[in-house]
Amino acid sequence: MSGALKEVRNRIKSVQSTQQITKAMKMVSAAKLRRAQDAITQMRPYAQKLQEMLSNIISNADGNIALSLATERPVQKALIIVVTSDRGLCGGYNSNLIKLAKSLLQDKFATQFAAGNVHILPIGKKGYESFTKAGFNMVNNYWDIFQDLSFERVQVAAQYAMDAFASGKYDAVEMVYSEFKNAATQRFAIERFLPVPKAEIKQGSKKSDFIFEPDKEILIAELMPKILNTQLYKAVLDANASEHGARMTAMDKASENANELLKTLKISYNRARQAAITTELTEIVSGAAALQG
């Protein structure tokens, strides 16, 4: 029985060590989540209002204005921006994003993908590793953005997508990312980046009457790239907060599972210990009876 006791005791120590790690990771993720949540909460209304304004301007623009980033054309080549995390241990967060990106390929760009005309632009190490291993066509210059997250670094990636779309290298650019709801909830989303979507005009609604200063063409040319930079930055901030929320939830669940496992192991240990004591007592009593006999 001593061997069985030692084995159970070692397993208990191992689970306790793992639990200390999961609790520490949960606390670290909770601290990072607070900062990430503040960042996206402050950014989201601004980004949404800018996107709404841009869509309205494009929808009400005259047909003679050249809108290179809002031009709808037949999609022969596409770029998919997939925002994952750099690190794991966050439940199914990364695998769900990668699965969603692959489903987008099959559902919307199957013909283009079969012809080798779909490229993946990963932001985050996990997505970069997964798509590289699977042999996808890659734009792999921007996967390390989370190592030093800033608006300037995201802007460089957004500018690449805009330049490539404007030059005709791609006819559509889609984003796959996780929209942050709260610490326990994320919404895995597909969002069109380019061409810039127009606002839906309801029947009977009046055309918006904008007064432009400076000229409409100059304003749109200046405004559109800035708003698109902001849109991608918002998606990256959403993903950053979602990652920390998912990791905090996963580590909390792991700590609870460790507690349950510890209870089971301690019961097993006590039973083995009790059996060992009973065996020893039986041997002592049998020895004493033999001596008396």
| Enzyme catalytic residues | 90
Q: Are 33 and 240 contacting, i.e. CB atoms less than 8 angstroms apart?
A: no
Q: What residues pair up with 187 in beta bridges, in sequence order?
A: 179
Listed in sequence order, the residues at least 6 apart from 264 whose beta carbon sits closer than 8 Å to its beta carbon are none
How long, in residues, is the chain?
Answer: 293
Omega of the bond prior to 195 within 30 degrees of 0, cis?
yes
Please, where are the H alpha helices in the chain?
2-59, 93-108, 110-114, 125-133, 151-166, 216-292
3-state secondary structure of 63: coil
The C-alpha atoms of residue 44 and residue 40 are separated, in whole angstroms, by 6
